Amino acid sequence: MIIKDVVCPFCGCLCDDLDVEVEGQKVIKVQNGCALAEAKFTGSGRLPAPIRRTPTGWDDVSYDDAIRETAEILVAADRPLLYGWSSTHGDAQSMGVHIAELIGGVIDNTSTVCHGPSILAIQEVGHPGCTLGQVKNRADVIVYWGCNPTEAHPRHMSRYTTFATGFFVPEAQKDRTVIVVDTRRTESAEIADEFIRIERGGDYEVLSALRAIVRGKGNVVPKMVAGVSREQLFRVAEICKKAKFGAIFFGLGLTMSAGKYKNVRNAIELTDELNRHTKFTISPLRGHGNVYGSNEVFTWITGYPYAVDFSRGIAFYNPGETTAVDILRRGECDAALIVASDPGAHFPHAAAAHLAKIPTVLIDPHMTATTPLCRIQIPCTIAGIDAEGTAYRMDGVPIRYRKVITSSYPDDADILKKIHDRIREVQGS
The residues binding ligand SF4 (CB under 6 A) are 8, 10-11, 13-15, 33-34, 36-37, 153-155
Angle between helices 90-103 and 412-427 (to 10 degrees): 20
Nearest distance from C-beta of residue 324 to ligand SF4, angstroms: 25
Nearest distance from C-beta of residue 154 to ligand SF4, angstroms: 5
> Does residue 98 contact residue 395 with C-beta atoms inside 8 Å?
no
Neighbouring CB atoms inside 10 A of 328's CB total 24
Looking at beta carbons only, is 33 or 96 nearer to ligand SF4? 33
Residues sharing a CB contact under 8 Å with residue 273, sequence separation 6 or more, in sequence order: 211, 214, 215
Residues sharing a CB contact under 8 Å with residue 189, sequence separation 6 or more, in sequence order: 180, 182, 195, 197
Beta strands in 110-157 (DSSP E): 141-145
Give the integer Cα–Cα distance in Å for 252 and 257.
7
Give the integer Cα–Cα distance in Å for 264 and 270.
10
Nearest distance from C-beta of residue 37 to ligand SF4, angstroms: 4
The tally of CA atoms less than 13 A away on the side-chain side of residue 421 is 8
Looking at beta carbons only, is 14 or 141 nearer to ligand SF4? 14
Nearest distance from C-beta of residue 155 to ligand SF4, angstroms: 4
Give the integer Cα–Cα distance in Å for 163 and 169.
10
- Give the residue among 146, 172, 142 at the shortest CA–CA distance from 244: 142
Looking at beta carbons only, is 31 or 299 nearer to ligand SF4? 31
Nearest distance from C-beta of residue 43 to ligand SF4, angstroms: 12
Looking at beta carbons only, is 18 or 419 nearer to ligand SF4? 18
Nearest distance from C-beta of residue 90 to ligand SF4, angstroms: 17
Looking at beta carbons only, is 61 or 152 nearer to ligand SF4? 152
Report how far apart the first and last C-alpha atoms of the chain are (Å, whole number): 48
Nearest 10 degrees: Cα torsion 159, 150, 122, 79: 120
Nearest distance from C-beta of residue 182 to ligand SF4, angstroms: 19
Looking at beta carbons only, is 165 or 318 nearer to ligand SF4? 165
Nearest distance from C-beta of residue 186 to ligand SF4, angstroms: 16
The tally of CA atoms less than 13 A away on the side-chain side of residue 82 is 34
Looking at beta carbons only, is 206 or 385 nearer to ligand SF4? 385
Looking at beta carbons only, is 14 or 169 nearer to ligand SF4? 14
Angle between helices 412-427 and 63-76 (to 10 degrees): 50
- Give the residue among 335, 416, 282 at the shortest CA–CA distance from 78: 335
Looking at beta carbons only, is 8 or 207 nearer to ligand SF4? 8
Nearest distance from C-beta of residue 393 to ligand SF4, angstroms: 9
